[in-house]
Structure 1
């Protein structure tokens, strides 16, 4: 998993490339939580354009990161979600949590 973050106005944009699965989910969650702790953004935009696959551990990581964001008064939104990652998030019913 490749993770690139940058400040984007009142938001932090976190671009992911690779597979969001057991091997990378802790790293992604930690990165997002660290960004929340250090920059205190109003929103975290997780750009999933480069995510080829997302499994249940990836979904859990996103849900946990969202909970951290909400606890800090921020929002976590997923952008550019497509392909199998989008299908997985839709089937599990969690995609609306991130819009």
Structure 2
């Protein structure tokens, strides 16, 4: 096994250099905006991610926004709150907003916090 202490120090240093550990990429077609989020939506990245998502949603004339979370590897409660805030922003602007593809552990967090129901994720059983 490797030295996890050293790996943790490297991760901490990487976050100091680049605190946003998430990537956000948008594509648009026929009134639908698909925003793919990847990486970690944690307490350090949540404000930046919410800001980026909000600007992307506000920048165009979209009828529907899809947040593709299939590339999200980690999300904490701050990240869940950021997703909820973006959803509320879209809905307030009259834009339907849905979430697709969260990994099982991300879905679990969203269900546990009650955010899944607001985002329109159906429970898995």
For the pair shown, the structure with the greater C-alpha radius of gyration is 2
Tell me which residue corresponds to 1:91.
112
- Quote the Cα distance in structure 2 between the aligned partners of 1:95 and 1:64: 13
The number of aligned residues is 99
Match of 1:25 among 35, 46, 56: 46
Q: RCO higher in 1 or 2 (8 Å CA, sep ≥ 6)? A: 1
TM-score, scaled to structure 1: 0.91
Match of 1:80 among 96, 101, 105: 101
- After superposing on structure 2, the runs of 4+ consecutive aligned residues of structure 1 that deviate more than 2 Å are none
Task: Tell me the C-alpha RMSD between the 2 structures.
Answer: 1.2
Gaps of 5+ in 1: none
Cα distance per residue 1:11-39 (max 9 Å; x no partner):
11111111111121112111121112210
More strand by share: 1
Gaps of 5+ in 2: 1-21, 121-125
Partner of 1:39, secondary structure, is: coil
TM-score, scaled to structure 2: 0.74
